[in-house]
Amino acid sequence: MPPLPTRCAVDIGQLRVACSSCSLRELCLPAGFKAREMERIDGLVDQRRRVRKGEHLYRAGDPLTALYAIRSGFMKSCVLHEDGREQVAGFHMMGDLLGMDAIGGGHHMSDTMALEDSEVCEMPFTILERLSREFPPLQLQLHRVMSREIVRDYGVMLLLGSMKAEERLAAFLLNLSQRFAVRGYSPTEFNLRMTRQEIGSYLGLKLETVSRAFSSFHQHQLVEVRHRHVRILDPGGLKAVLGPVR
């Protein structure tokens, strides 16, 4: 655990946040809101919260208080079996909305932890509910985000249920690449924020298998990997790993 340069762990206080002037707006609230409408949304984010690397945003069992939009940083969500086995259920980056697992039962059903120092916007759920009632585009947006999470989950099932190791890793890299691209980062060169172990957990593989798959890609000139740094040399080739050309 690194000593903390500033005093306290978790929050950076009551500073009001305006979604209307947030650079991530198109990610969080892609629907076409008019200026006057945006003002209403501004009441939604109660406060920002800082989560340091290794800290939890929430844990399984915590009561639902808010949903969270990632402003910066990188996080993972895990579900855990009683016997301690843990399964990474997703990796999250800026613009992603977290916490929807808690709506059903009032308590979070997964752990979410920062993989690097991160900042989230906290949206109290009661306010979100009320605003989305009064303001149809927000309602639609919330439904869309939850639906997309379901679709994403189906994709992970497909990956876990019917792909081989190298296909899984290729799918994983292409997914990361695409998400970085959407956020304005390079789709071909980035740093992984997670360990091989965490990638393996997400993909249903052991860390050694992940490592070997990386090496194989490297040999085939598909990617250049040095530890956490990845450069995709041949995106088409990677896609071909996924769906061998027919």
Partner DNA sequence: GGCGCTTCTTGATATAGGTCAAATCGGGAG
Partner DNA sequence: CTCCCGATTTGACCTATATCAAGAAGCGCC
For residue 185, the 8-state DSSP code is S
143 interface partner picked from its own copies, DNA, none, CB below 5 to 8 A per type? its own copies
The one among 46, 117, 149, 224 contacting its own copies by CB under 8 A: 149
Among residues 175, 177, 192, 171, the alpha carbon closest in space to that of 232 is found at 177
8 Å CB contact between 73 and 51: yes
Contact between 133 and its own copies (CB under 8 A)?
yes
The 3-state DSSP class for residue 9 equals coil
Among residues 60, 183, 45, the alpha carbon closest in space to that of 119 is found at 45
Distance CA 230, CA 189 (A): 6
The one among 96, 101, 111, 166 contacting its own copies by CB under 8 A: 101
Report the site for its own copies in 9-68 (rule: CB under 8 A). Answer: none
Contact between 164 and DNA (CB under 7 A)?
yes
The one among 62, 211, 234, 235 contacting DNA by CB under 7 A: 211
Report the site for its own copies in 104-123 (rule: CB under 8 A). Answer: 104-105, 109-110
Distance CA 215, CA 203 (A): 17
Interaction site with DNA (CB under 7 A)? 1-3, 164-166, 192, 195-197, 204-212, 214-215, 225-228
